[in-house]
Amino acid sequence: MKRIAIEMDEVIIDLNHKFTPDAASQEAQADSLDAAKPQQSRPALFQEIEELIGEESFYAGLPALPDAQRVIERLSQEYEIFITTAAVEFPRSLAAKLEWLKANFPFINPMNIVCCSSKGILNADYLIDADPQHFAQFTGEGVLFTTAQNQQETGYARVDSWRDIEQRFL
């Protein structure tokens, strides 16, 4: 059975949902997560976003992206599914991420949840991710999930939605 690794943030979970006027400063709201590489261009904004994501309560109530639950459940019938997250970069978020996955994706085997920043350790045929840097050391095929930050990236297979993923893999 082929394996698909799927990044959690911005691919499964709608992080932008939290960036509303009362969830972040006016500056963070204006830029939301749409700024290309805010850690480089706007370090203060990136620090604010990083602090919000690091809060234990950040993930509570966040929705899955449209069709993600349905499509991942269908994929799990034909592929071995692994959920990846760079939770080690935001250690306080790990428990909240695991709880969110348990509540929203109960069909995912907890043994198939992988916390790693370097995706090169993954032994999967495909990696669906919003950050093209994660494909550099990955030995399978990278599939770029479109977000505001990666629209200019080329050189990778690209999907714009979970319906696109459904059409590509099923």
Residues known to be catalytic: 9
Both tokens assigned to 159: 């999907």
User: Token digits for 92?
Assistant: 């306080």
Tell me the backbone φ, ψ of residue 64, rounded to 5 degrees: -75, 155
What is the CA angle 164-153-169, rounded to 5? 25
> Across the chain, where does the E strand assignment appear?
3-7, 80-85, 113-115, 126-129, 141-145, 157-159
Contacts of 137 (CB under 8 A, 6+ apart): 118, 119, 120
